[in-house]
Structure 1
Amino acid sequence: MSANCAIMGGFGGGNLGDELIGLAESGFLEANGMEPLLYTFSPTVSQAIQSQVRWLDYRNLPDYFQRLRNTVRRHARNTGQPLPDRVIIGAGGLLYDTPLTHLIGWHSRTLYLRQKRIPYALFANSLRRPRSAPGRYLLHEILRHASSVSLRDRLSLDIAGELCPRDDYRLTRDPVLALGKILRPDVAMPVQKNLVAIAPRPWNPSGKKEGFSFWVGLIKGLVEQGLDPVLVAFDPRMDIEFCERLRSSLALREVRTWDSAQGLAGAGAVFDGCEMVFGMRFHALILALLLEKPMLAFSYDEKVTGLMADLGLSPLCYELNGNVPAALDFVIQGRRYLADRKPEVLSGMRDYVAESQSLTTKDFARIIETL
């Protein structure tokens, strides 16, 4: 068995969730006796976050998407970067067709791997039902040619079965759940009553305004209910500016961000002192699970919905539609639900995390064997 296996994901953009996936999956490679070998969109950023990883630059991968963008030479031998023998796409929620160019890029990479006879597998992905016929075709082809596929929620399994029937799809969990206590801050602040962390993202409910007015209205309503919101920005490419605008508009206390210079250990400090997490970002919910924080989910797509359904917490998941009064009512009802069932909910969260740590480790090793 060759030891040259690379991971492709969304690494290098500084998104806390993506970088945590990279930390988990580099550890999985090491646990299987392999060199941590991951592709990145920004070697400088990735090297600063994880210096022990050998980072390969996507821009030096001469797939057809890169050729169209005219950013690299045509042949791999001219890049100075060797191709791996096998690839695992541990891309979280990247296989989406909004925008379509996103999915075109992933299909192009897998097509290039196939033409070079490099097998690839999908590990711990979430799927969204493609919004377009080209998107359905591209995702079907990615699924069809994968040597194996594991998905991180049952809803994604259903979507995969609709798009490309196979009898070997497997259910796994998000790899970040295998990191366990490494994400907890060394010294945690005491929980402050009514301090709630909100992890939003720019969101476009109607094709117009990125959801800014929705979050302004919702947060005003939360303050009127006596809650003390603190904003948490997960993705520096889009969340920080969005959260700063919200903070300025609403005169909130702060915007918390993850400092990449401090590394990934203790990243859960972004929720320090908060008694509850309101998560639109998927990995805000994953961190809440690891930190055993009660949470309410605001779902803009299937990956958040699928996670909450698998947790048995669908009553705590709100499907975003831009309706502020309905969202406020959801918060009121959700807090009542948690008040009545908090020990039961937290116990279920702990069980889910404990099962995930074993499941993801074993599933990764199984995928290695299929390549």
Structure 2
Amino acid sequence: MVKMRVLLSGYYGKGNGGDEALLATLLQMLPPDVTPVVLSGNPEETHRRYGIESYNRMELLQVIKTLRSCDAFIWGGGSLMQDATSAISPFYYGGLMAIAQVMGLKTVAWAQGIGPLLRPQTRWLAKRNFAGCSQVSVRDRNSAALLSDWGIPYILAPDPVWALESKPVPRLAYLPQPRIAVTLRNHPQLTETRLAKLIAALVDLQQATQAFILILPFQKSEDLGISEKIQSQLKDLSKIICAEDPQLLKGIFRGVEMAIGMRLHSLIMAASEGCRCFALSYDPKINRLMENLAIPGWNLENLPDDANVISKIWIEHYQNSESLSSDKIQSLINGAFLHRELLKEVLK
């Protein structure tokens, strides 16, 4: 029996831990009788890591040729259809989806976080794309509400990364405990002034808790410089850990007492491994997670002016808050598997 070939498209091969985690989870959830083919920013690395067929996402002729060889096309998770950070992104992903639909492939918008869509053209394209899909799943209520307004059926389920299988990281055994994990990212809202306040607050937090600080650049090209600035103030009391394997990245949060994160999937990974979380938001998707899980935090633009206020609140959170209950975590994991059931249904 010939296996169904399925082309997977997302922000893959760009060194972003969250998007690589979505790809790893999607590959875990695909039916066994499917052959995945991945469009990647680094096809050689994607092939090496997962042992699967992969092509350069920007080589249009190769992409068209690969689409013709496939039976289905999947937008593989995340905020692909949004124009807040890039006006080009929705046209790239939307264009691929439109081509796949014209070719008559089964098309799936999988685990999407839709928006913001600030321009009429991108809203029109997104509506057209989603309406033409064989199946759609979304990861938050705002995306679900938008599809409802458009009259497009969907499945709402937690982000798939809740269900990603983590792996233990043996080298962590030699690092001191307790531990606090920190994930900051390069962003216009994280000004030098705000970063300086956060670093000063982290120094105070470490002194008050005597915790060892794990600094996790989720996207090395974007985050490493900030990580090094933090580490320079904490010296032997911290360590930068760059983990490219998504399962190992998630496994780092095992045994971590508290996580402070800007990146969405750093918070999801941390919460799923039983960490107390504190969010620093630069994007509505972070606020949606904060609402859904009652995670405390600040929008970066509303960060307190006084580093002592920041550290005091962090210390209070470290000492008195609780992580999600094991029942709540299991419920979210079970819910995330609805994305797998959708794949089984549409790819049978």
TM-score, with structure 1 as normaliser: 0.79
Q: Judging changes above 3 Å, is the alpha-carbon distance between structure 1 residues 88 and 117 closer, same or farther for their aligned structure 2 residues?
A: same
- Aligned residue in 1 for 2:220: 236
Report whether the alignment pairs 1:89 with 2:75. Answer: yes
Once the two structures are TM-superposed, the CA of residue 85 in structure 1 deviates from its matched residue by 1.1
* DSSP 3-state at the match of 2:33: coil
Code of the aligned partner of 2:257: E
- Aligned residue in 2 for 1:303: 285
Q: Judging changes above 3 Å, is the alpha-carbon distance between structure 1 residues 281 and 252 closer, same or farther for their aligned structure 2 residues?
A: farther
Once the two structures are TM-superposed, the CA of residue 326 in structure 1 deviates from its matched residue by 7.2
Once the two structures are TM-superposed, the CA of residue 188 in structure 1 deviates from its matched residue by 5.1
Code of the aligned partner of 1:106: Y
Code of the aligned partner of 1:204: P
| Distance across 2 between alignment mates of 1:285 and 1:327 | 22
Deviates more, 1:217-226 or 1:279-288: 217-226
Q: Judging changes above 3 Å, is the alpha-carbon distance between structure 1 residues 291 and 188 closer, same or farther for their aligned structure 2 residues?
A: farther
C-alpha RMSD of the superposition? 3.0
Code of the aligned partner of 1:117: G
| Distance across 2 between alignment mates of 1:96 and 1:307 | 17
| Distance across 2 between alignment mates of 1:353 and 1:183 | 17
Report whether the alignment pairs 1:364 with 2:343. Answer: no
Once the two structures are TM-superposed, the CA of residue 157 in structure 1 deviates from its matched residue by 1.6
| Distance across 2 between alignment mates of 1:328 and 1:306 | 27
Q: Judging changes above 3 Å, is the alpha-carbon distance between structure 1 residues 251 and 219 closer, same or farther for their aligned structure 2 residues?
A: same
- Aligned residue in 2 for 1:336: 316
> Does structure 1 conserve the Cα–Cα contact (< 8 Å) formed by 2:198 and 2:307?
yes
Q: How does 1:64-103 map to 2 (within 5 A)?
A: 76-77=64-65, 82-97=68-83, 98-103=85-90
- Aligned residue in 1 for 2:134: 147
Code of the aligned partner of 1:139: A
Q: Judging changes above 3 Å, is the alpha-carbon distance between structure 1 residues 337 and 161 closer, same or farther for their aligned structure 2 residues?
A: farther
Q: Could you give the per-residue CA deviations for residues 89-133 of structure 1, whole angstroms, max 9, x where no partner exists?
A: 123122221211111211111121122122311111112322333
Q: Judging changes above 3 Å, is the alpha-carbon distance between structure 1 residues 356 and 224 closer, same or farther for their aligned structure 2 residues?
A: closer
Once the two structures are TM-superposed, the CA of residue 258 in structure 1 deviates from its matched residue by 2.7
Q: Judging changes above 3 Å, is the alpha-carbon distance between structure 1 residues 246 and 223 closer, same or farther for their aligned structure 2 residues?
A: closer
Report whether the alignment pairs 1:277 with 2:259. Answer: yes
| Distance across 2 between alignment mates of 1:335 and 1:165 | 46
Consecutive unaligned residues in structure 1, runs of 5 or more: 63-71
Q: Judging changes above 3 Å, is the alpha-carbon distance between structure 1 residues 326 and 34 closer, same or farther for their aligned structure 2 residues?
A: farther
> Does structure 2 conserve the Cα–Cα contact (< 8 Å) formed by 1:121 and 1:148?
yes
Code of the aligned partner of 2:16: N
> Does structure 1 conserve the Cα–Cα contact (< 8 Å) formed by 2:264 and 2:286?
yes
Aligned length: 339
| Distance across 2 between alignment mates of 1:296 and 1:328 | 16
Code of the aligned partner of 2:198: L
* DSSP 3-state at the match of 1:89: strand
| Distance across 2 between alignment mates of 1:37 and 1:24 | 15
> Does structure 2 conserve the Cα–Cα contact (< 8 Å) formed by 1:16 and 1:235?
yes
> Does structure 2 conserve the Cα–Cα contact (< 8 Å) formed by 1:4 and 1:34?
yes
Q: Judging changes above 3 Å, is the alpha-carbon distance between structure 1 residues 212 and 352 closer, same or farther for their aligned structure 2 residues?
A: farther
The match for 1:175 among 134, 139, 160 is: 160
Report whether the alignment pairs 1:224 with 2:211. Answer: no
Code of the aligned partner of 1:43: P
* DSSP 3-state at the match of 2:188: coil
> Does structure 1 conserve the Cα–Cα contact (< 8 Å) formed by 2:157 and 2:338?
no
Identity of aligned residues (%): 21
- Aligned residue in 1 for 2:331: 355
- Aligned residue in 2 for 1:55: 54
Q: Could you give the per-residue CA deviations for residues 49-107 of structure 1, whole angstroms, max 9, x where no partner exists?
A: 222x2223323444xxxxxxxxx7xx945xx7753111121231222212111112111
* DSSP 3-state at the match of 1:220: helix
Once the two structures are TM-superposed, the CA of residue 238 in structure 1 deviates from its matched residue by 1.0
| Distance across 2 between alignment mates of 1:327 and 1:121 | 46
> Does structure 2 conserve the Cα–Cα contact (< 8 Å) formed by 1:13 and 1:45?
no
